Each structure stands twice: as C-alpha cells, then as structure tokens.
C-alpha cells in the first residue's frame, strides 16, 4: 500500500533528477510501482504535492516554535523574527527542492501558486501575533491600517524567500541580516510613534469641543 510520504519523496527525487515534473501520473506511479488510485487517494495532481510540501514546511515551523516554553514570553517582534530564522532552517533541509519549486513560478507581484496554501496559514499566524501586540500596546492600533500589518509581513515573507534562494554567503549570513533588518524596520513602523500621539491628541480635542472654545482654540 502506497503512502503519502512515499509519493512525496518519489516526486521530490524525480523533479530534482529531471528538473521538471513527470510527464504523467501514469508514468510516475509506474516508476514507484503503485497504482494511479493509490496516487489519487492522497494527491489530486503534481502541483498539489508541491503545495502540500510548502504547507508542511510552514506548519512544522509554527508548531515547533509554539511548543517552546519561551514562546509566550516573546514580544510580537521576537516571535516574527523567530519564525523567519526557524523557517530558513527548515528550508535548508530541502534547499534544492525549494529552489526548483520557486524558480518555475511567475515573477510578478502575485503570490506564487505553489504558496497559495501557505498564505492563509501564515496570515492567520501573523494576525494572532499582531493582535497580541496591539493588546499589549507594543504595536499601534491604527484605524484601517492595523488590518494591513499582516500584508506587510507577507511581503516580507516573499522577499526573504527570494533573498534566501539567491544568497551565496557562507552559512546564509546575508539572509540572517536581511531578516533582522527587514523585520525590525517593519515593526518600527508598526509601533506607536509621535504621529500616533498627535492623532490621539487631535481626537481628544475633537471630543472636548467646549473646552477648546474656552481656551480660544
């Protein structure tokens, strides 16, 4: 009886050996000595195998982090930094496949199809962290903009992936630096600033119109 792991590993081996997907499910399962029905019990297509592999990378990273005792003590910024550092470590185990998988995706601004299953998982994860940060006042609660914080983190996700697959530095040191600088800049923008204080003051004045009139404002 075939297993999902057997099919997944067989697929990874094939694409890394031939630099392309198998010509058909028929030829692929024949090579694995399993039936087509075995294949379709687990996967609808070759593309679904790749999407599932990326989902596994992401879920493995999140689950591992959340099981650590120190996780709940982290700030929102540190949680996101920990995610990206850990994610790269997970991807290193399958770097050849990651490069293959991403290299055949469109290079526009849209989310690569192979990451379509990852995006909602990451956004849910990021949104939980952001909401915790807003509740603790680590992050600014800005009308209309707060809901876009997760979009900014998804842009960082895509950028870091692209940077890593092109990183030729020893130990991928440049990627670590890109993660640190990119996430810190992003969270600096999320944090309360003098502009937020000015807006809060403006709201206060607007709610206290009579007091403004007495003060001649």
Q: Does domain 46-203 have CATH number 2.60.120.10?
A: no
Answer with the residue of higher pLDDT: 2 or 216: 2
CB 10 within 8 A of CB 32: yes
CB 76 within 8 A of CB 39: no
Q: What average pLDDT score do residues 121-145 get?
A: 93
**pLDDT (tens digit per residue) in 158-198:** 999 999 999 999 999 999 999 999 999 999 999 876 454 44
| Residues with Cβ within 8 Å of residue 103, at least 6 apart in sequence | 165
How far apart are alpha carbons 69 and 25 in whole angstroms?
44
CB 72 within 8 A of CB 135: no
How far apart are alpha carbons 161 and 148 in whole angstroms?
20
How far apart are alpha carbons 6 and 15 in whole angstroms?
14
Helices (H) and strands (E) in the chain, counts: 11, 0
Long-range contacts of 45-48, Cβ-Cβ distance < 8 Å, separation of 24 or more: 46/11, 46/21, 46/22, 47/113, 47/114
| Residues with Cβ within 8 Å of residue 7, at least 6 apart in sequence | 32, 34, 38, 39, 42, 43, 49
**pLDDT (tens digit per residue) in 10-67:** 999 999 999 999 999 999 999 999 999 999 999 999 999 999 999 999 999 999 999 9
Q: Is the pLDDT of residue 135 over 90?
A: yes
Q: What average pLDDT score do residues 107-117 get?
A: 80
């Amino acid at each position: 009886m075939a297993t999902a792991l057997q099919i997944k590993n067989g697929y990874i081996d094939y694409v890394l050996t031939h630099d392309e997907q198998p010509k058909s499910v028929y030829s692929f399962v024949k090579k694995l000595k399993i039936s087509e029905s075995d294949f379709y019990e687990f996967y609808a297509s070759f593309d679904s195998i790749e999407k599932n592999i990326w989902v596994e990378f992401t879920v493995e990273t999140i689950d591992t982090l959340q099981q650590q005792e120190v996780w709940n003590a982290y700030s929102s910024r540190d949680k996101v930094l920990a995610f990206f550092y850990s994610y790269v470590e997970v991807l290193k185990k399958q770097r050849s496949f990651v490069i293959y998988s991403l290299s055949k995706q469109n290079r526009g601004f849209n989310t690569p199809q192979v990451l379509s299953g990852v995006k909602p998982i990451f956004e849910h994860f990021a949104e939980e962290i952001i909401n915790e940060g807003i509740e603790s006042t680590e992050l600014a609660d800005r009308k209309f903009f707060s809901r876009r914080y997760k979009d900014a983190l998804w842009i960082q996700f895509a950028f870091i992936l692209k940077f890593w697959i092109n990183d030729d530095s020893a130990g991928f040191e440049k990627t670590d630096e890109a993660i640190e600088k990119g996430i810190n800049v992003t969270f600096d923008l999320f944090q309360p600033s003098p502009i937020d204080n000015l807006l809060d003051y403006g709201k206060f004045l607007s709610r206290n119109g009579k007091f403004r009139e007495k003060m001649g404002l």
